[in-house]
Amino acid sequence: MSPALRTALLTALTLCCFAANSILTRLALRGDGMDGLAFSVIRIAAGALMLALLLSRRLTGRRALAGDWPSALALVVYAAAFSVAYRSIPSGTGALILFGVVQVTMIGTGLVQGERAPWQVWLGVLLSVAGLLVFLMPGLQRPPLAGSLLMLAAGIGWAVYSLRGRGNRDPLAATAGNFVRALPLALLPWLLVGEWTLDARGVACAIASGALASGLGYALWYTVLPALTALRASLVQLAVPLLVSAFGVLFLDETAGARLLAGSALIVGGLALATLYRARRAAG
């Protein structure tokens, strides 16, 4: 197998893992499914176990856990809000809100910190924000406001986690350490306000989400990143919310309404415009 084909296949598998997180969570929590906080605890525990196992079996490099507590807290905010939000909103809508908020937050942080940006980047950010507002504004088929706001909080949490992780010399060790630290932090809200009833389907989905879609998915992503340019690494992630929307229609009987299509076009189009221009500027 050629290196290019191997990279393409691993990248496609990684994106499917990322999309599977939304599908598995929605499958476990919709309707009368298990408690979202319980799901997040099991997901983090399974992810921590998988990442620690991968780290321990690594043939080269350091095997000690890295990471820090602030990053672990941001990870818990993301995971808990993500899980609870999916009790009420469709998978495709949730993925678009999450992905849009993450990218807008990260790009916006650069602008606030003094990064010089041309009008194309500003236009891309504004289009993405407009796409997010499409989901939050009143009207036909609007997703529940509480779930949308929780997914917005999840996006901010993941953006903070990603921003703190930029420049990590050992991403696998840092991710494993953050997942291990996140476990006791995730247990606290579940013990205080969560429900104690567990659902067999929900537990199975949580384990698969943590160990496979999260733990193995992140390990695959770190494997293919060195083979991708900054432009390609940014753009391929635009496929994740679209994959989630397609999987939601195929496996969860969700519908692709006008609001989803309009929001998708604005968010993905805006982020593509901003990301593409920033990557070209960096390359030049």
Burial 50-74 (b: 16+ CB within 10 A, else e): bbbebbeeeeeeeeebbbeeebbbb
Mean pLDDT to the nearest integer, 5-32: 82
Please tell me whether the overall predicted TM-score, pTM, comes out greater than 0.85 for this model. no
Burial 176-197 (b: 16+ CB within 10 A, else e): bbbbbbbbebbbeebeeebeee
Whether 149 has a pLDDT exceeding 70, the answer reads yes
pLDDT tier, 139 (very low <50, low <70, confident <90, very high otherwise): low
Residue 85: CA count within 13 A, CB half-sphere: 29
Q: What sections of 113-252 are H helices per DSSP?
A: 119-136, 145-165, 171-193, 200-208, 217-224, 230-236, 239-251
Contact in structure between 11 and 199 (CB atoms under 8 Å): no
Into how many domains does the chain fold?
1
**pLDDT tens across 70-119, in order?**
999 999 999 999 888 888 888 777 887 887 787 777 767 766 766 666 76
User: How distant, in Å, are the alpha carbons of 24, 168, 172 from that of 21?
Assistant: 5, 24, 19
pLDDT of residue 101: 81
Whether 235 has a pLDDT exceeding 60, the answer reads no
Contact in structure between 103 and 275 (CB atoms under 8 Å): yes
**pLDDT tens across 213-227, in order?**
988 888 787 777 666
Whether 64 has a pLDDT exceeding 90, the answer reads no
Q: What is the rounded average pLDDT for all residues in the chain? A: 78
Report the percent of the chain where pLDDT is more than 90. Answer: 19
pLDDT tier, 60 (very low <50, low <70, confident <90, very high otherwise): low
Say which residue, 186 or 7, is predicted with more confidence.
Answer: 186
pLDDT of residue 103: 72
User: How distant, in Å, are the alpha carbons of 71, 132, 134, 204 from that of 258?
Assistant: 37, 14, 10, 33
pLDDT tier, 283 (very low <50, low <70, confident <90, very high otherwise): very low
Report the percent of the chain where pLDDT is more than 70. Answer: 74
pLDDT of residue 242: 75
Mean pLDDT to the nearest integer, 170-182: 89
What is the C-alpha separation between 89 and 84, in angstroms, rounded? Answer: 10
User: How distant, in Å, are the alpha carbons of 4, 220, 221 from that of 20?
Assistant: 24, 14, 14
By residue range, what is the domain housing residue 24?
A: 3-283
Whether 179 has a pLDDT exceeding 60, the answer reads yes
- Which residue bears the tokens 């994959």? 243
pLDDT of residue 211: 92
What is the C-alpha separation between 105 and 163, in angstroms, rounded? Answer: 10
Comparing 52-56, 136-140, 202-206, 241-245, the range with the smallest average pLDDT is: 136-140
